[in-house]
A and B are shown apart, each in its own frame.
Chain A
């Protein structure tokens, strides 16, 4: 039998497309979470591969913390428009206005509170499945998560009460009020994502590429100067070439020093890097050994 070569990216892609089609076929009212970040950019291409020449059988949704990088928001709107798919935006600002979220200070990280706005939006639209771009290699709590991750009426993840997942037979059944988080790129690593972006020639927000930026060295990271982050009395601002490995809340997402100006150079750096994606870039995951696990149990992704 003379097969054409089937690369690891082909295998991961086929698996993810299969997962998306299962969601579309079995869930009554799914939604795809699109933030403009690189993982969700990959999800959109996978959705195109799964459903074109048809339209997506679900809308896109973004939970806007109000702390997002402007380049990413601009890209989010541009990409949704280019695809001609419906984009729902629900903002944490509204949750704050309505008293659902109470912040201690304006500039604190809004990551932990995303869950509230997300759960409200799920209830508002009656979504029974949310497709997200989380990957198991990101964090140890994620390593133990299912591809179809069941959440109870309170949106909570109960690590000891997960449904066994065998072969690719996914149990998508829910009772009213419950929902499932679906992670089609669970088995992808940061390197796989960049190789796929390269292979598919996908556009990503400009801040993923090296650019000159003012940063404050703090703890072991570089915090980007913004309206939310200003240097303290004993801190100094440096201007240097950096890129972001993840794009999250502006108050706690750190860039890394880099000269990589295109996808090939990012892939080369990713192969060589000795620090995990979250270890290098997320100050909020370093507060305790189990911070991601705890946030997930409260309804976070």
Chain B
């Protein structure tokens, strides 16, 4: 077994982002431009969309066709919520969660945003900050995406006017401040002509910031991680029970937040028993420390009864072990909330029965106004009170995404019907 002190950075990190905007804002064109100008489109893909473009009577190759749908979508007039696309530059690997922009937007954006480091919000320079831009900003803040990039697109149609750009920035900033969004970058661009996407172009000389790709390559995402609160939901207990490893008990899982070091004092929740970390293992490596989001195997000094669903945490700010909690809920399912039904709550590695005890209000995603309601249907966002049959070990979503999020599963259909983010009861 080798002891690993350090692993060299052989290549870039991974950045996951989502693009928010409708077809009219030029979203597909922007993605197509990013892929094309970063040389991530292959010749056979290009010839395939060139063929389709000419079949549809277009003179130029329509880059937006790269994100075109499946046959099933075209035939049935439906859209599948998220398509994933990949590209790599010498600096980073990127995963784009591309979500279609119409009626089911809330559900789609929440789904795509749940794993994103960054959201690009597209605004048509001719139209300025619209209701939908505010909706996108609200959803980004709800799901806690750390960084926003406001892409003011179609600058070619407003004569590349600095004044127009600055007015839109000011409008958006005023609104974003109310939502508590902090890291926002604004970029004027023309996705159609390629200005400020990958290349700077020469028509936006007054803009001194980075073009989009350079920003995506350099934005600091490492400091988004919570490094204080160690959270380790146990996924699987490894007990080989072979002669050589007769007493080996390894607790396998992924660190959801924080850091762990050999010798650290840990508490097992919900039992509250304590011990110390004996080893941090990963395959043939014995590590001195590990951090989120690493998957590892931990062994501890004492022989405790620990199983899947338990959580190892450090001292400091402990999570709460509770049967009732408040949450923001996004309803995902086509069939609405049924107060007579119990649901399965999946939180970290635990599944328990639960119910929605109370609906405080529903948020109108266009106006942010609160409305009274006793029903929830697809795309609704609501503040609710949850009750669960057995205690869960939770943080607020704001403090730790991995231990503050949950899904609701319909016990009869087995469908995932809602996604929740736990909040402080006092908020």
Contact = CB atoms under 8 A, between A and B. Distances in A.
Interface stretch (A28-36, A96-104, A161-169, A246-254): A161-169
Nearest to B80: A144
B252 A50 contact: yes
Interface residues of A, number: 67
Given A8-B12, A171-B416, A164 B332 contact: yes
A175 to B, nearest CB: 7
Contact of B414 (A25, A50, A164, A174): A174
B72 A160 contact: yes
A72 to B, nearest CB: 25
Interface stretch (A16-24, A114-122, A231-239): A16-24
Nearest to B411: A173
Contacts of A195: 11
B308 to A, nearest CB: 5
A290 B68 CA distance: 12
A279 B71 contact: no
Given A187-B84, A274-B42, A164 B111 contact: yes
Contact of B45 (A14, A164, A276): A276
A51 B238 contact: yes
A12 interface: yes
- How large, as a class, is the contact surface on chain B? 35 or more
A166 B416 CA distance: 10
Interface string A131-147: 00000110011011000
A214 interface: no
Contacts, number: 185
A70 to B, nearest CB: 29
A161 to B, nearest CB: 9
Contacts of A137: 85-86
A233 to B, nearest CB: 29
B73 A159 contact: yes
Contact of A171 (B72, B78, B227, B409): B409
Contacts of B222: 3
Contacts of B84: 136, 143-144, 186-187
A50 B295 contact: yes
A266 to B, nearest CB: 16
Nearest to B8: A5
B34 to A, nearest CB: 15
A85 to B, nearest CB: 14
B407 A14 contact: no
Interface stretch (B88-96, B129-137, B146-154, B197-205): B88-96
Interface in B374-418: 401-402, 405-407, 409, 414-416
Contact of A18 (B9, B86, B254): B254
A12 B252 CA distance: 17
Contacts of A50: 236, 252, 295
A7 B12 CA distance: 6
A53 B248 contact: yes
Given A3-B291, A21-B252, A53 B238 contact: yes
Contacts of A165: 111, 416
Question: Which of A1, A54, A192 has the most chain B CB within a 10 Å cutoff?
Answer: A54
Contacts of A279: 42, 44-45
Contacts of A160: 72-73, 76, 78, 80
Given A9-B11, A169-B346, 8 more contacts: A1-B227, A7-B12, A8-B14, A18-B295, A54-B240, A164-B419, A168-B402, A187-B95
14 contacts: A1-B227, A5-B6, A5-B9, A6-B291, A21-B253, A51-B238, A160-B78, A164-B332, A169-B406, A169-B407, A173-B409, A187-B84, A187-B95, A275-B43
Interface of A: 1, 3-15, 17-18, 21-22, 24-25, 48-55, 57, 136-137, 140-141, 143-144, 159-160, 162-169, 171, 173-175, 186-187, 189, 191-192, 195, 199, 273-276, 279-280, 289-290, 293-294, 297
